[in-house]
Amino acid sequence: MAKIILHDVGMRDGLQIEAQTVPTDRKLDWIDRLTASGLDMIQVGSFVNPQKVPQLADTDELFQQLSVPGRRRPGVVYTALVLNEKGLERGFACGVDFFCMGVSASDTHSRKNTGMGTVEATDRIIAMGRHAMAEGKGVQVSVQSAFGCGFEGHVPQARVVGLAARFLDAGLTTVSLADTAGHGSPSQVRDLFGALRGLGNGVSMACHFHETFGLGLVNAYAAWEAGVTFFEAAFGGLGGCPFTAVAAGNVCTEDLAHLFQRMQERRDVSLDAIAGVATDAAQWFQRALPGRIHTTGPIPDGRPD
């Protein structure tokens, strides 16, 4: 099977819901430690209105600091989420190499999250993605609320697949399906990613799950069974979309990496390094975080699977 790519989104999706702002120097320390852990991709932030999400107001500065020669580990990709054209231009200006962008399959969630309906958002995201690719940037597009919506409930599979098909037809071939509300089940995950794979056009599949109802990690495993290679997660299990009905954390990065290591995959990733960041975050926010491995430690290597 293709190599599993681990994309930590804790610095963006993990922190965006937190009321207590993390100082820029502490964020840089966490990013440097995640970089050294062996993770493949780290989402630094998002170019959003600082009035609405003050936690992410320093995203431009973070990217500028991370561009210092010798700071990043070779092969690690720093990513940013963008929602609109202004955010894309800010990303170009501070040197972002890889952009994540997407639309919600739920029109209600789309309007709460971006102020646009799904149709308008899709047209704009496709134009933005093609612009970024023309500038030589990496692009991942996502379908949010792909497995259900906290406001609308069931989201038809045909609607999700139709959005993904539009992305592929536009030449945007790295496609993520995001379970923003945490409604997905393993069988649904296998079916939906199977339908996405069936579209062809050189699709590379990514996934993004939340633990709202405790199904995130098993859904990630089902996604792996379905051929997904890009996995998004957040250190400590932090996070939650502030514009969904019930916000809950992401799949925990160190827990997910531990699962894969029990499967003899991604043994190169340092669980201790990621867990150390999660422990720091728990101390900073003065509460226990939902992840497991940063408190229990991994299963010792000598144990049978």
In which band, very low, low, confident or very high, does the pLDDT at 245 lie, cut at 50, 70 and 90? Answer: very low
Q: What is the pTM of this model?
A: 0.94
Query: Tokens 């997905």 — which residue?
Result: 184
The arithmetic mean of pLDDT across residues 184-189, rounded, is: 97
The arithmetic mean of pLDDT across residues 178-193, rounded, is: 95
pLDDT at 203: 96
pLDDT at 151: 75
> What is the secondary structure of 18-58 as a DSSP string?
-SSPPPHHHHHHHHHHHHHTT-SEEEEEE---TTT-GGGTT
Mean pLDDT of the chain: 92
The arithmetic mean of pLDDT across residues 238-261, rounded, is: 80
pLDDT at 71: 84
Q: Residue 230: which residues within 8 A CB-CB, separation 6 or more?
A: 5, 7, 41, 140, 174, 176, 204, 205, 206, 207
With a pLDDT cut of 70, the percent of the chain lying above it is 94
Structure tokens at 215: 């199904």
Nearest Cα neighbor of 194 from 179, 202, 180, 205 is 205
Nearest Cα neighbor of 247 from 113, 107, 91, 75 is 113
Spatial distance between the Cα atoms of 179 and 160, rounded to a whole number of angstroms: 11
> What is the secondary structure of 62-98 as a DSSP string?
HHHHHTSTT-SPTT-EEEEE--SHHHHHHHHHTT--E
Spatial distance between the Cα atoms of 32 and 9, rounded to a whole number of angstroms: 14
Active site residues: 241
Q: Is 271 exposed, middle or buried (0-12, 13-18, 19+ CB in 10 A)?
A: buried
5-296 has which fold?
TIM Barrel (3.20.20)
The arithmetic mean of pLDDT across residues 231-255, rounded, is: 80
Spatial distance between the Cα atoms of 201 and 114, rounded to a whole number of angstroms: 28
Give the domain ranges of the chain.
5-296
3-state DSSP of 285-302: HCCCCCCCHHHHCCCCCC
Nearest Cα neighbor of 290 from 210, 231, 220, 232 is 210
60-108 pLDDT, tens digit each:
999 999 998 888 888 999 999 999 999 999 999 999 999 999 998 887 7
Residue 294 has pLDDT above 50, yes or no: yes
Residue 110 has pLDDT above 80, yes or no: no
pLDDT at 2: 73
Q: By mean pLDDT, which of 66-80, 178-192, 234-248, 264-278 is the weakest?
A: 234-248
Spatial distance between the Cα atoms of 244 and 65, rounded to a whole number of angstroms: 32
pLDDT at 1: 56
In which band, very low, low, confident or very high, does the pLDDT at 118 lie, cut at 50, 70 and 90? Answer: confident
pLDDT at 211: 93
In which band, very low, low, confident or very high, does the pLDDT at 252 lie, cut at 50, 70 and 90? Answer: very high
pLDDT at 247: 53
Structure tokens at 253: 């990065």
pLDDT at 240: 65
pLDDT at 134: 98
Structure tokens at 56: 């992410």
In which band, very low, low, confident or very high, does the pLDDT at 222 lie, cut at 50, 70 and 90? Answer: very high
